Structure 1
């Protein structure tokens, strides 16, 4: 009679844990459709999704709640995976997407767009922010390909330098122009409010390419965790793996920031929670972090709607308020390590 060894049963446990996370995401998605300033029953939600008759509940679900929830899932998935990739490539437990200058590049582009009247709607903001984020990613990538920039420390320092420069330029513009500051601050807080399926469609191609690159890069990260010398001895091209990871981080973060603004802390939280459940194996860690990020952003948006009364608290604010104590608990219960 054969018995299942602990090693053999580990993939089964991880699969079950990942499926459980997906179930939680589905429940969060359903709650986002039903709850808000006006609560709707399961029957009303199902009717709105399957037999639209133009009633008030149908309009609320199909035109307002469903699109923003889809955007929250997509962007949470992107930012959760981007944060985990960053922590792996920089070997820095506190790394998050903004450290590569991607968020700063998007913010600088949005400010310029506001200054010159190019940004006039959510749709135009997406394209301007996406362009700025991709340019910033390309700049970091070019700098990282020279000298010691391909090392984890070099990548982090290069990204931080670019982020600091772009952040200073952004501040200098908004502080000198009150109108630009008023428009910029609503985007900079990070929110899925007002985002429709058109926004999801605009960033989807970049998100898909980024997710594919992340999937390819997962195995490279497992080898890089052994050390660059060992990974090179196993036949891995260190430079290719670093640039592939940077490309994935850039595309995923650009998609997220362009659609919803610079939502901080999500990538940091998702990676650590996933690592606590699944360990350091990136082939499991990366998809788990994506599901956790999607769930966290959907729930943050839902909480913001429930506590905001007639208005709402933006998802980026909720994540900062609720996510920070949760992250402290995670760190206290387990030493921060990669």
Structure 2
């Protein structure tokens, strides 16, 4: 059984307005996500559609297409943001993310193989293959990261990086071998919440909720873990079990998110840094804050992808990759300093 540090100190009151500001920004993104697209819908129509007071064509677009897409974006963004906070906490590496552990690429390979071998054609058909691939990749990275029975943060990240390269090469080989598989898988591999309905999300809700609860429970322990393994052990922390529990939370959260929306990069990396910049390094505040920052970043990127190429749109995974590359360079430079 995992135990956590039960020490409690008051959360500074000055952080409360920042949390409220984050919630307000998220609510604004939700409204914009319902209103903007290839065809913009007035805010009044959006409100009336949500309360069932309008049955016009625009209202049907809001309730039938954009509302499920926004709900999926909220769940996926929250899962990726929380997973990023936990993985950075257990590895004490500010550049760690679910992608670093090979989760995205493990899911991608599993989906590509399933499409190729089983002739699948709809996301709902291969959602469990994606989750299984993500879980297997994370478990393999976990095995590579163990040393003397405990998880080593450096070996964990290095093992995930090596696994990424292997999985990418295998996925590319399958795609080059089968043109049909490439046609079916490329939309999912780009990472998108478009055309994702609640039927795709519902099978993953139990794993999302279990992972979220586990990640939130571990938040106080991550504060102690940040002091270093020796100090945490001296304070009575079961460091190895904390990291194992953290990895389980990351697998459940990121695996579920990738299964639903495809491999969306940089949300798990950027959300913890954004929260840390605003709220500080206290994981008791930072980890729950990622439940706001994750969907905020994802919905903002999705909205941007809809309006920059009207009447077409860019998948959210393309937008996050385009914006995340310079962010990664900045973070790497700051970490080196």
TM over 0.5: yes
Deviation at 1:103?
Answer: 1.1
Tell me which residue corresponds to 2:6: none
Tell me which residue corresponds to 1:284: 285
Q: Is the 8 A contact 2:41 2:58 kept in 1?
A: yes
Q: Is the 8 A contact 1:149 1:158 kept in 2?
A: no
Tell me which residue corresponds to 1:336: 335
TM-score with structure 2 setting the length: 0.91
Deviation at 1:74?
Answer: 0.8
Question: Is 1:95 aligned to 2:96, yes or no?
Answer: yes
Q: Is the 8 A contact 2:145 2:155 kept in 1?
A: yes
Question: Is 1:257 aligned to 2:258, yes or no?
Answer: yes
Q: Over residues 264-308 of structure 1, what are the superposed CA-to-partner deviations in whole Å (9 max), with x where a residue is unaligned?
A: 111111111111111111111112123111011111111111122
Tell me which residue corresponds to 1:193: 194
Secondary structure of the structure 1 residue equivalent to 2:120: coil
Tell me which residue corresponds to 1:66: 67
Q: CA RMSD in A?
A: 2.2
Change (3 A) 1:113 1:270: same
How far apart, CA to CA, are the structure 2 residues paired with 1:312 and 1:207?
28
How far apart, CA to CA, are the structure 2 residues paired with 1:54 and 1:41?
14
How far apart, CA to CA, are the structure 2 residues paired with 1:11 and 1:309?
44
Moved more, 144-153 or 154-163: 144-153
Q: Over residues 26-49 of structure 1, what are the superposed CA-to-partner deviations in whole Å (9 max), with x where a residue is unaligned?
A: 111011111222222222111111
How far apart, CA to CA, are the structure 2 residues paired with 1:191 and 1:204?
18
Q: Is the 8 A contact 2:72 2:197 kept in 1?
A: yes
Q: Is the 8 A contact 1:149 1:155 kept in 2?
A: no
Tell me which residue corresponds to 1:5: none
Q: Over residues 180-215 of structure 1, what are the superposed CA-to-partner deviations in whole Å (9 max), with x where a residue is unaligned?
A: 122222111111110011122122111111111111
Moved more, 240-249 or 161-170: 161-170
Q: Is the 8 A contact 1:48 1:62 kept in 2?
A: yes
Change (3 A) 1:12 1:258: same
How far apart, CA to CA, are the structure 1 residues paired with 2:327 and 2:160?
27
Change (3 A) 1:218 1:10: closer
Q: Is the 8 A contact 1:273 1:330 kept in 2?
A: no
Tell me which residue corresponds to 1:3: none
Q: Over residues 249-273 of structure 1, what are the superposed CA-to-partner deviations in whole Å (9 max), with x where a residue is unaligned?
A: 1111101111111111111111111
How far apart, CA to CA, are the structure 1 residues paired with 2:108 and 2:193?
16
How far apart, CA to CA, are the structure 1 residues paired with 2:119 and 2:103?
20
TM-score with structure 1 setting the length: 0.90
Deviation at 1:136?
Answer: 2.1
Q: Which segments of 5 or more consecutive residues in structure 2 lack a partner in the other structure?
A: 1-8
Q: Is the 8 A contact 2:77 2:296 kept in 1?
A: yes
Correspondences of 1:180-219 after superposition (within 5 Å)? 180-219=181-220
Deviation at 1:25?
Answer: 0.3
Aligned residues between the structures: 329
Change (3 A) 1:185 1:234: same
Moved more, 273-282 or 165-174: 165-174
Secondary structure of the structure 2 residue equivalent to 1:138: helix
Moved more, 22-31 or 10-19: 10-19
Tell me which residue corresponds to 1:79: 80
How far apart, CA to CA, are the structure 2 residues paired with 1:262 and 1:90?
21
Correspondences of 1:1-338 after superposition (within 5 Å)? 11-51=12-52, 54-147=55-148, 150-325=151-326, 335-336=334-335
Moved more, 289-298 or 323-332: 323-332
Q: Is the 8 A contact 1:119 1:128 kept in 2?
A: no
Secondary structure of the structure 1 residue equivalent to 2:313: coil
Q: Is the 8 A contact 2:95 2:331 kept in 1?
A: no
How far apart, CA to CA, are the structure 1 residues paired with 2:295 and 2:188?
20
